[in-house]
Structure 1
Amino acid sequence: MLDSTAYALTHRLAVEQSRGRAPSMAGAVLRGREIVWTGARGEVDGAPPTDDTQYRIGSITKTVVAILVMRLRDEGRLDLDDRLGDHLTDTPVPDATIAQLLAHSSGLPSETGAPWWERSDGAVRPDLCSLVAEPPLRAPGRRHHYSNVGFGLLGALVGRMRGHDWFTAATREVLEPLGMTRTTYAPTAPHAQGWAVHPWADLLHPEPAHDAGLMAPAGQLWSTTTDLARFGDLLLHGDDRVLSAASVEEMRRPSAPSEAGDADHSQGLGLQLLRHGGRALAGHTGSMPGFVATLWVDPAEDLAAVAFANATSGPAIGACVGDLIGIVAEREPRLPEPWRPAVVNAEVRELLGPWYWGASPVALRLRGADELTIGGLGGGARTSRFRPGPDGTWLGLDGYYAGETLRAVRRDDGSLSHLDLGSFVFTREPYAPGDVIPGGVPDDGWG
């Protein structure tokens, strides 16, 4: 990294620590699977924090839990459309689906009943029914409403299906494989003390750090910038020891809309999605009494950034981390992968080039050896990517055709007749006589 880029990152962190009146802040940036910058301002126990100083990461814990749920799905133990009650018989909300809980669209309230779970010992909520003080606020699936309670229930689901508590599952399945040895349930030295900063004077008040019990999956964990950068690498690239790249990409897709009037925010599966400075970011913010934290990743730039502060409020931590990504992306834009020729078999080559949906021209292109794209040659055509299936068909990955199947239809003599894409017929000529066009065309063609 250029010295000027490193200075700009340090300056941004220093500005936020000063402006937000945080006792300390620590940050890191990862690119190309390597930590390329770390920085710190302020003090912890009389010295600057290091990349081994633990902070509480709050709701970033939810993303760890979401990965555990996705692992169960990938193992075939559950489906995201399953009702929670299908697997967790003592849940007070059996009808919400697992996907709705992951995307905060289950209709559950944000919080438990009194006392506030973040500042009370988890023992006051001894069972799952004690997490839900009131019935769902609205019908499940109708809108996004952030729910800490929902992740308390998902943590219980993981524990029930694994036969041990959710944190044991997290340690064995996520933290140990990724080498996140400094990510723990309770703080271990060296760690920062959490503080509240007086709103009208430069005074500090210590914040408690309770064991949240059944609500721990919503915000319990402690971590370091180094560990969380490793976690950011997982959210960028996947890791077959933990979760495949395809499943990580699925988590990064929008699964619930933003609140009305907030077009820059949406929700994936256990991930928050943000547009910041024109960039599409995924990750999670976190807060617990005495701490704020954020991890964002930018897949387009292969960047992850994290920052912590030990203050209940003050630092605009989410914007700060978004700016860290922006600084690197603008000053040192990612170099594209070098183009290389691919080996493509004859049947795939035959699909490429111009096609017509009615009178609308489109083009099929191959990127590499295994990604087909459809896009318009005129204006306004639908664009999607496809991956090959084992039976010679192609599955839509995004856009209008996400989940749809593209088939090459051949004549009795084996020659290529047309493409069928979710019943849309694409032909080599626009409405040519003799082509297989739904509704038919006149024998004399155009004119």
Structure 2
Amino acid sequence: MDSEVQAKGKLAKKASYIMNVKTTAEKNEALLKIAEQLIIDKDVILSANEQDLVVGKQNNIPDSTLDRIMLNESRIELMAKAIHDLVQLHDPVGELLESTTKENGLLIEKRRVPLGVIGMIYEARPNVTIDAATLSLKTGNAVILRGSSSAKHSNKVLVDTIHRALHNTTLPLDAVQLIEDTRHETAKELFHLKEYLDVLIPRGGKNLIDLVVKEATVPVLETGAGNCHVYVDTTANYTMALKIILNAKIQRPSVCNAAESLLIQQDWFERNGKQLLQHLHEANIHIIGDSKVCEVFPHATVASEEDYATEYLSLTISVKVVENLYEAINHVNTYSTNHSESIITEDPIAAQTFLTSVDSAAVYHNASTRFTDGFEFGYGAEIGISTQKLHARGPMGLPALTSAKYFVYGNGQVRE
């Protein structure tokens, strides 16, 4: 007898062949039905989510994780709105990438096609259930979802909502599958489901991502943890610097594009450092700093090497004073997770040097790292933010969920 993972893998694979031939109109109609059903099922979804939150509190799950699990009326409405926005986006499937006519008359076209079956393994956030499912459907893919035990009631109800919506469309219900067994064994089985999965996408903390990359035999689209940096250069405007740092740190500290590390050029620090640290302290940010930081600011905790590599996902930030731009770049490239980094400076040459030299998916000049997001970049909801360099990098929207296929048209040509 097949396991749950094997059985749902088979169903998803069959559904992916049906999804291949669905039109944009059919897919968009289904998406609108899902958005409508989310609002209809709002109370049921909130009730299931409350179950997850109660269990999470009983298990002493950190507040930052509870925030990622938590749904409310506003977040559900935003999920529905995101689907409406997704409907308006261009469908990349079938897009002509290249076209060549050979001397013998062969027409060779390279077009975008669905990846096939996407496996999504993720932690905490039930909104990923909707994002992953709707992005997959829009691009003609089937998807197998495997969320964490911390959001299992929410994920189950959300997939039930999707299936209720798909009942009234031409899309197959089996195009969206949820692995309900959240034991580690099922996750590991998914890592090796090469017969049915075309790609596996992990979305969560560093431990999960590292585990999937290390153990999976299915091709992995790696999304990265976010040890994001803000570097304040010697010419930085104080008011701008404070505004950007506060936004990058506290606007939503539990997400991967929040700033976790602050680097400050030494001369600027001598002029403004104490005042800046006091402002951060007043914003309830816990500062972990080097000896120079701790010397001028008694509320700071002494930083260890490990602290500079930590994704806190809370109101904690590591702070280091650096001699110059090049020390800042070296520090970022040493400790960053290659996600998002920002330089605050009035010097355009320094800015361009930082942007070019830092090896991360998104780099900013005089702006908050919080903008690294599919919506902000115009892709709609993203499946994740890739910190790797092959296939896709940065926020992964619709094109990242497609591959390419060659369509060759002839009229009797044979190779000599």
Same fold (TM over 0.5): no
Q: Which has the higher helix share?
A: 2
Higher relative contact order (CA 8 A, sep 6+): 2
Structure index of larger Rg: 1
With structure 1 as the length reference, what TM-score do the two structures score? 0.22
| TM-score of the pair, normalised by structure 2 | 0.23
